[in-house]
Amino acid sequence: MSDASITDIAQAEQGTSLWHDAWLRLRRNRLALFGLGILVLFITIALLTPWIAPYGYAEQNLDLGASGPSAAHWLGTDIFGRDLLTQIMYGGRISLAVGFIATAVALLIGVTWGAVAGYVGGRVDAVMMRLVDILYALPFMIFIVLLMVVFGRNLLLLFLAIGAVEWLTMARIMRSQVQTLRQQEFVEAAVSLGLSPSTIIRRHVIPNALGPIIVYTTLTIPSVMLLEAFLSFLGLGIQPPQTSWGLLISYGAETMEEYPWLLLFPGLALTLTLFSLNFLGDGLRDALDVRGSRD
């Protein structure tokens, strides 16, 4: 059999690949699709905000003050007459950015750490995972509060602090994946071909462990966003003049008696996003068959 025909067969097989299968299964899950739709919408809005926001970010209208939803201001205005929809759009940029970037940091550290520990094994593995165990036992929420107090409240630190905490589970998942994978024949074949461990990890191990990682990533983003909102609500996260959904909720809670919409709409934006991510995560877990066979 020539090389060409092997590729042909491989291409013909693509139609029923794991990813195609997963997509077919995901498409049947209405809640997950709904989540995906909302997310795509929110992310698109966040990316385009500077061009499509109905008002300028800093634009005030002190004569107007706080007003309920109207034709000019769909979601109303705050006590300075700032358009709430505009605030929520800009806040969403930060909230989503924190969610995605901090998760990316966690993904990078966790996957590398877990892959190395699982692949190398032995004493290296024992030391690396013992460190993860110890870090696991740390009360990280308190530590993040501490970090924000000590080093001042800046955005970059927030990304790093949250990412540095969330990588632990990722490392554990990755390690157990790698331990299973490295006993497979194709890894053995790669070893006997003389590929270096780092190439094997990058080319053969990580791609095959993608399913659980994607699922866990989707579920990490909402917990990171919650953490950011929690800190911002306490006044320890995002600082004015920047804003985020957590900060808007915190302002809204202060004046909710007179102007309940200032609490409701940012709260709705955050809850809807968290819902979507969780539904999508659950759907992906079923679609990629992560917890083992479904029936």
Partner 1 sequence: MWRFIAYRLLQAIPVILAVITVTFFLVRVAPGGPFDSEKAVVPEVKAALEAQYRLDQPLLTQYAAYLGDLAQGELGPSFKYPGRSVNELIAAGLPVTAELGLYALLVAMIIGGVAGIIASLKPNTAQDYLPMSAAMIGICMPSFLLGPLLVLVFGIYLDWLPVSGWGDIPGDKILPAITLGSTYAAYIARLSRAGMLEVMTQDYIRTARAKGLPEWQVVTRHALRGGLIPVVAFLGPAFAGLLSGSFVVETIFQIPGLGRFYVQAAFNRDYTMILGTTVFLSTLIVLFNLLSDILAAWMNPRLRTQFSEH
The residues of the shown chain that bind partner 1, judged by CB under 8 A, are 133-134, 137-139, 141-143, 145-152, 222, 226, 229-230, 233-236, 246, 249-250, 252-253, 256-257, 260, 263, 267, 270-271, 274-275, 278-279
Q: Of 55 and 216, which CB lies nearer to partner 1 in the complex structure?
A: 216
* Least CB distance to partner 1 at residue 263 (A): 6
Q: How many Cα atoms within 13 Å fall on the side-chain side of residue 222?
A: 20
CB-based contact 205:114 (threshold 8 Å)? no
Nearest distance, CB of residue 12 and partner 1, angstroms: 36
Asked if 200 and 191 count as a contact pair (C-beta separation under 8 A), the reply is: yes
Query: By C-beta, is 61 or 255 nearer to partner 1?
Result: 255
What is the rounded CA–CA span in Å between residue 166 and residue 107? 8
Q: Residue 205 and residue 177: Cα distance in Å, rounded? A: 9
CA 204 from centre of chain: 25
- Residue 228 has which token pair? 């950011």
Work out how close the CB of 128 gets to partner 1 at its nearest, in angstroms, rounded to a whole number: 16
- Residue 242 or 255: which CB sits closer to partner 1? 255
Q: Which is nearer to partner 1, 1 or 150 (CB)?
A: 150
Specify whether the CB–CB gap between 117 and 175 falls below 8 A: yes
Of 195 and 256, which has the nearer Cβ to partner 1? 256
Residue 175 CB, shortest distance to partner 1, in Å, is: 18
Query: Least Å distance between CB 131 and partner 1?
Result: 10
Least distance from C-beta 237 to partner 1, angstroms? Answer: 11
Q: Which is nearer to partner 1, 190 or 284 (CB)?
A: 284
The conformational region for residue 152 under phi > 0 = left, psi -120 to 50 = alpha, else beta, is: left
Largest Cα–Cα distance in the chain?
80
